[in-house]
């Protein structure tokens, strides 16, 4: 117990890419740039969705929630990572690690549910266009968004609480870029079968189930679109869904790779780069994808930049 308590007193050594100094310097610049662009891009999405009356629809309400989650998610990881990478002392306090663990796990889980909710919104818009406003009404939107945030909070409290109870027996070297459940499980010096099973079950609930629902939704959407005789109509229908589908593939593809495998099986560098991608890169891709592939957002962005957002 004395050895286990030393981790809570001294904290952890967040090694990151310290064994590759040149790579670490390059990544520092890239992460800083991506983080700034992430803040600017997602904040812009939130602002235009709020300021432009044309974007006061369920789709942009959920998109604003997604941008908010992305800002908070990246902020829970990037600043601490940048500070650690920029100093010789890689120490991270135990309290800071635990706080990061809870926040990042909760927000990542919320994003999983939110992307599934957005798929349902697209299903209703394409497959039930005449009844869309009656189906996806403001009260339902608020309830679905609240469910996404609340589910992330609950799974974070359960999963992280079980993880931090594992005795670490004095091990302080966290060979990763931030405090994450699979990585902390590797540090335990006891049998972690229960924790690995719990992690797998949570991964199925927050990854496999949402992905399955998204695939079913897009199955119905594809069938409905193929029934449209007009080429322009098909193009418009696919356009409303392609941005969301692209975000889903990028986000779920990386996070499933990290979580749906035994906690002690992946190589350390592989896990670091995968985590770096879905915590730093993917949140930046969301506003880029939605801006480049959506005429309404691009128009609202131009209005905001030129200062005409308040004219109406």
What is the DSSP track for 189-218? SS--HHHHHHHHHHHIIIIIHHHHHHHHHH
Q: Is domain 11-300 annotated with CATH 1.20.1070.10?
A: yes
pLDDT at 3: 44
Measured CA to CA, the distance from residue 45 to residue 290 in angstroms comes to: 9
Inform me whether the pLDDT recorded for 58 exceeds 80. yes
Burial class (CB in 10 A: 0-12, 13-18, 19+), 252: buried
> pLDDT tens across 213-248, in order?
998 988 888 888 888 777 776 776 676 677 777 778
Reported as a pLDDT band with limits 50, 70 and 90, residue 89 is: confident
Reported as a pLDDT band with limits 50, 70 and 90, residue 94 is: confident
pLDDT at 136: 92
- What percentage of the chain has pLDDT greater than the value 70? 85
List C-alpha distances in Å: 81 to 69, 99, 135: 19, 14, 43
> pLDDT tens across 128-167, in order?
888 898 999 999 999 999 999 999 999 999 999 999 998 8
> pLDDT tens across 156-194, in order?
999 999 999 988 776 678 888 888 888 888 888 888 889
pLDDT at 267: 58
pLDDT at 240: 65
What are the residue boundaries of the structural domains of the chain, listed by start? 11-300
Inform me whether the pLDDT recorded for 284 exceeds 90. no
């Amino acid at each position: 117990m004395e050895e286990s308590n030393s981790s809570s007193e001294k904290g952890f050594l967040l090694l990151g890419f310290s064994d590759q100094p040149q790579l670490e310097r390059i990544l520092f610049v890239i992460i800083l740039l991506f983080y700034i662009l992430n803040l600017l891009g997602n904040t812009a999405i939130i602002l235009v969705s709020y300021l432009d009356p044309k974007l006061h629809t369920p789709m942009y309400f959920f998109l604003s929630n997604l941008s908010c989650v992305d800002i908070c998610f990246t902020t829970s990881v990037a600043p601490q990572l940048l500070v650690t990478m920029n100093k010789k002392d890689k120490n991270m306090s135990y309290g800071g690690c635990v706080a990061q663990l809870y926040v990042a796990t909760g927000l990542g889980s919320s994003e999983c549910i939110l992307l599934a909710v957005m798929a349902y919104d697209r299903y209703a818009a394409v497959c039930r266009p005449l009844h869309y406003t009656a189906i996806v009404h403001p009260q339902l939107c608020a309830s679905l968004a609240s469910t996404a945030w609340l589910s992330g909070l609950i799974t974070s409290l359960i999963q992280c609480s079980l993880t931090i109870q594992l005795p670490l027996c004095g091990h302080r070297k966290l060979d990763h870029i931030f405090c994450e459940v699979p990585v902390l499980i590797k540090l335990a010096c006891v049998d972690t079968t229960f924790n690995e099973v719990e992690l797998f079950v949570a991964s199925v609930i927050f990854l496999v189930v949402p992905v399955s629902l998204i695939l079913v939704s897009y199955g119905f959407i594809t069938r409905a679109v193929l029934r449209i005789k007009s080429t322009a109509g098909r193009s418009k229908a696919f356009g409303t869904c392609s941005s969301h589908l692209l975000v889903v593939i990028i986000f779920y593809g990386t996070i499933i790779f990290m979580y749906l495998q035994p906690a002690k099986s992946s190589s350390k560098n592989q896990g670091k780069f995968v985590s770096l991608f879905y915590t730093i890169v993917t949140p930046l891709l969301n506003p880029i994808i939605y801006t480049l592939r959506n005429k309404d957002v691009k128009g609202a962005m131009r209005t905001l930049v030129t200062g005409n957002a308040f004219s109406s």
